[in-house]
A and B are shown apart, each in its own frame.
Chain A
Amino acid sequence: MAEVTLDTSSDVDRRKEHRFLVSEAVARLALRTAGSYLSLDREDRPYQWSTTTYLDTPDWRIFRGCEGSGAVQLRIREYHRTRPNEILAADSVFLEMKDDSAHTSFKERYSVPTLDVPAYLKGQRKFPDDPAGLSGRANEMIDRAARPIVVTQYNRIAYSAPDLSVRITADHNLMYLAIPWISHDDPMPRRLGPVIAREPAVVIEVKWHEELPHWADELYSYIRGHMVNERPSKFVVAMRHLLGEEQKDDVGD
């Protein structure tokens, strides 16, 4: 198997990250503004579906950690032109580790052939050592039988500065889906389970290193002033829905 290397979109240091739930109108205005200063991200085109599969242990160690003092999220991200009804359906996927605290985050990700994913899930392959120490924590969760447990799918529009100092994203059609527990012998790809919940509005994420430029600072204030509410990470929201720990008032059925 080929050696795995860090993807260029991995963070070089910790960055600030805020998430807001906003109306479609506010999102359109925010994106129009962002588009005047930043360029459209190559990987997150409108109407491309991002599918992110989150892992957790049978005792929900990662989720409980994320709700408390912090934990390393383990996730598998893949991109498709049309919405897949399976996970691990692309030729290659990104294995991501993300340390997500209240307002800052640090992410590393590796592009791996999808066929190698089972070896990672079984602990036969380890995440490479990294200076931030995320891989050690990720490998520990794999040893504790972390498996895919919940999935998000959405259309993301992303604008980024060339040096990645600022990134503004808007997620439409965001859905949280369950995925049946994957045993050692299950084949890939794996069919998605039912929709647990769907965000009725748009999730905007603003991520930056150091200081926001003036225009972005004004935009940030505008979004804060017009948001529906602030959001925890998608993983936390999805897990709360999955475990029945959040009112499902946004599920229409």
Chain B
Amino acid sequence: MSVTDGTQSASPGRPPTNVVVVEDDPASADVLQRRLQANGMRVSVGRDGAEGLALVRQIVPDLVLLDVMLPDTDGYDVCLRIKSDGGTAHIPVIFLSARGEVVDKVRGLSCGAADYITKPWNAAELLARIDAVLAQSRNARAPRLERPVTRPTRGRPLVAIALADEQRRAKAEGLLTADFEIANEGSGPVDIVLADPNAVIDPALTDGSTAVLVVSLGEAPSSGDAAPLNADLARVAKLLVREQRVERDMNAAADALIAVATALESHDRFMMGHSERVASRAVRIAQVLGLDSSAVDTVRLGALLRDIGNAKLPPSIVHKAGELRPNEREALERHPVLGEEILKTVSPLAPILPIVRWHHERLDGTGYPDGLAADRIPLEVRIVSVADRFEALLVDRPDRAAVSEAEAVRILQTSVSKGELDPAVVVALAAGARTTPTQEGN
């Protein structure tokens, strides 16, 4: 496995294109690698299918160039595996093969490849096809989940007036100057952007919490995020900024709750950092299962706050090292309901309430607090349940020693056989566990 960087010749300011080449012939791989690097790409080479797959899962590249004939498997197999993993399915694959019959090309394309190029390849054609595939892929791809950049709250909100017409720009500035700070060019993300209808907003002006107000050309009444260029403009702009700030405050409130949950865990040396690990594991499972970014975010937050109800229970029960008495167990099993009570007053956290209340439910209906059957337990809840149980098995507890990841998967599969856990979620966990950094380092 080798990784080399050709970014010195990449366009300035643009991230390099990451390419994984899966090719067993060193000479072919070398020629290809040099050619791609010369065009500003960062290239990693896998010498067989297993190595190539590991690279793809680790790097999540922009493109995979795949030989058909490999020492350990065939390229079709590798392509199918890439396309079957929710975390890598979006990556375009181009086959590079000496097999040039129609039947081979059809088979390659039916496995989900974006293109099929026969060897010996022509460099200009290869690069043109790569560019075409990358362009299609970028257009089709949904934006990645990113945590909004935290911006200091100013006394007056910062506005960028991105209107094309100079007179309209000056008038808007006059209308807003009493309540807003006007951004200079190159100021970075602002609180609100004023834009012409159908205008393309400069991404440098926005982050996750920037409001956009369209300034209509006529005198149409204000509606939602559009307003005319008149005295009403400042009122609508202030309203939009306030909405964004409330949402930001809610996020801050959620962060505070997470801090409380983390602080509770820190009293228990066996549980310290457990929620972070559960959240991280649950996010990976959700990604393997192909959940959208909003659902992944719900899973992450739900995993972090699922045990917040413990704050309402006596620490002597929550952190008890020995076996619980029946009345203590009964009290502890109330923590999902107590957690829901705490969080339901924060309306933006409504999507995570099922996770908090039901993360100890089981598919066969033997869980608590509601004894729900499989049909009623949402997938996001099932993901957190599996991640929680898996991570708990990896750490020492007063009553038992930690087990390895492989052993923990086997234990969960036993629970699957009993009908307690969703098998697909455990399979996704196992797929994710195989590519965790700790395991690769071993």
User: Contacts of B83 on A, CB cut-off 8 Å?
Assistant: 83, 85
Partner of B81, one of A155, A183, A195: A195
Residue of A nearest to B413 (CB): A244
Q: Is the CB of B81 within 8 A of A181?
A: no
Q: How far is the CB of B432 from chain A (nearest CB, A)?
A: 9
Q: Which residues of B contact A184 (CB under 8 A)?
A: 375-376
Is the Cβ of B84 less than 8 Å from the Cβ of A253?
no
Say yes or no: is B250 at the interface (Cβ < 8 Å to chain A): no
Is A65 on the interface with B (CB-CB < 8 A)?
Answer: no
Contact in complex: B80, A195 (CB < 8 Å): yes
**A86–B89 CA distance with the chains assembled, in angstroms:** 12
Question: Which residues of chain A are near B107, meaning CB under 8 Å?
Answer: 47, 155
Tell whether B364 is near chain A: CB-to-CB under 8 Å: yes
With contact pairs A59-B419, A194-B427, A253-B53 given, residues A145 and B373 touching in the complex (Cβ less than 8 Å): yes
Q: Which of B72, B76, B377, B424 contacts A252 (CB 8 A)?
A: B72
Bound CA span A60–B80, Å: 28
Let me know if B214 is at the binding interface, CB within 8 A: no
Are the C-beta atoms of A198 and B427 separated by less than 8 Å? no
Q: How far is the CB of B329 from chain A (nearest CB, A)?
A: 25
Interface string of A176-214 (1 = CB under 8 A from B): 011111011010000111111010100000000000000
> Shortest distance in angstroms between B88's beta carbon and chain A's nearest beta carbon?
11
B contact face: mostly helix, strand, loop, or mixed: helix
With contact pairs A47-B107, A83-B80, A173-B76 given, residues A181 and B424 touching in the complex (Cβ less than 8 Å): yes
Say yes or no: A253 contacts B289, CB within 8 Å.
Answer: no
B379 touches A145 (CB 8 A): no
**Residues 87-120 of B contacting A (Cβ, < 8 Å):** 89, 103, 106-107, 109-112
**In the assembled complex, how far is the CB of residue A54 from the closest CB belonging to chain B, in whole angstroms?**
12
For residue B428, which residues in chain A have a CB less than 8 angstroms away from its CB?
178, 193-194
Asked if B289 and A194 sit within 8 Å, CB to CB, the answer is yes
The minimal Cβ–Cβ distance linking A105 to chain B, given in whole angstroms, is 25
**Other-chain contact of A83, B111, B289, B377, B417 (Cβ < 8 Å):** B111
Partner of B423, one of A81, A242, A252: A242
Residues of B within 8 A of A244 (CB): 409-410, 413-414, 416-417
User: Is B5 close to A, CB under 8 A?
Assistant: no
Residues of A within 8 A of B86 (CB): 191, 194
Specify which of B81, B110, B424 is in contact with A253 (CB 8 Å cutoff).
Answer: B81
B382 on interface, CB distance cutoff 8 Å: yes
B77 at interface by CB-CB < 8 Å: yes
CB contacts (< 8 Å) of B109 on chain A: these are: 82
Check B351 for interface membership: any CB of A closer than 8 A: no
A12 to B363, CA, bound (A): 38
Q: Do A191 and B290 contact each other (CB < 8 Å), given the known contacts A47-B110, A49-B110?
A: yes
Contact with B along A211-253 (1 / 0, CB 8 A): 0000000000000000000000000000000111100000011
Q: Quick check: A183 and B110 within 8 Å, CB to CB?
A: no
B377 neighbours in A (Cβ, 8 Å): 181, 183
The contact of A194 among B54, B85, B376, B409, by CB within 8 Å, is: B85
Q: What 0/1 readout, one digit per residue, does chain A (36-55) give for beta carbons within 8 Å of chain B?
A: 00000000001101000000
Pick the residue among B112, B378, B417 that contacts A82 (CB under 8 A).
B112
Contacts of B427 in A (CB 8 A): 178, 193-194, 196, 242
Contact of A180 among B72, B422, B434 (CB under 8 A): B422
Residues A133-154 near B (CB distance < 8 A):
145, 147, 149-150
Total interface residues on B, CB under 8 Å, equals 50
Q: Is the CB of A253 within 8 A of B50?
A: yes
A150 to B416, CA, bound (A): 13
**C-alpha spacing A155/B76, complex, angstroms:** 12
A58: Cβ under 8 A from any B Cβ: yes
Among A46, A150, A178, the most chain B Cβ lie within 10 Å of the Cβ of A178
The closest CB in chain B to the CB of A85 belongs to: B89
Decide: B80 and A181 in contact? CB cutoff 8 A.
Answer: no
Which one of B80, B86, B416, B423 has the greatest number of beta carbons of chain A within 10 Å?
B423
Residues of A within 8 A of B425 (CB): 180
Asked if A252 contacts B73 (CB within 8 A), the reply is yes
- Nearest CB in chain A to that of B377: its residue: A183
Q: Does B227 lie at the interface of the complex (its beta carbon under 8 Å from any beta carbon of A)?
A: no
* A175 at interface, CB cutoff 8 A: yes
Residue of B nearest to A147 (CB): B374
B125 to chain A, nearest CB (A): 24
Asked whether A180 and B89 contact (CB < 8 A) given A155-B110, A173-B76, A191-B290, the answer is no
In the bound complex, residues from chain A placing their C-beta under 8 Å from that of B419 are 58-60
Q: Is the CB of B110 within 8 A of A180?
A: no
Docked Cα-Cα span, A242 to B419, in Å, equals: 12
Contacts of B49 in A (CB 8 A): 252
CA of A248 to CA of B392 in the docked complex: distance in angstroms?
Answer: 25
Task: Determine if B77 and A252 form an interchain contact, defined as CB atoms under 8 angstroms apart.
Answer: yes
Task: Convert A68-84 into 0s and 1s, putting 1 for each residue whose CB lies closer than 8 angstroms to a CB of B.
Answer: 00000000000001110
Which residues on the A side are within 8 Å of B379 (C-beta)? 180-181, 183, 186
Q: Which of A60, A180, A183, A245 contacts B375 (CB 8 A)?
A: A183
Instruction: Kindly list chain A residues whose C-beta atoms are within 8 Å of the C-beta of B77.
Output: 173, 198, 200, 252
Known: A85-B290, A145-B373, A243-B417. A181 touches B382 (CB 8 A): yes
Residues of A within 8 Å of B289, CB to CB, are: 180, 191, 193-194
Once the chains bind, are A194 and B431 in contact (CB under 8 Å)?
Answer: yes
- Verify if B162 is at the interface (C-beta below 8 Å from A): no
A68 to chain B, nearest CB (A): 15
Task: Report yes or no: B80 in contact with A179, Cβ–Cβ below 8 A.
Answer: no
Q: Taking the nearest CB of chain B, how far is it from the CB of A85, in angstroms?
A: 6
New A-B contacts (17) at CB < 8 Å, excluding given A60-B417, A178-B427, A244-B413: A46-B103, A83-B111, A155-B110, A173-B80, A178-B423, A178-B428, A180-B424, A183-B374, A183-B377, A183-B378, A184-B376, A193-B288, A193-B428, A194-B288, A244-B410, A245-B417, A253-B50
What are 17 residue pairs bridging A and B, where the CB atoms are less than 8 Å apart in the complex?
A83-B80, A83-B83, A83-B112, A180-B425, A181-B374, A181-B424, A183-B378, A193-B428, A194-B288, A194-B424, A195-B80, A198-B77, A198-B80, A242-B427, A252-B72, A253-B54, A253-B431
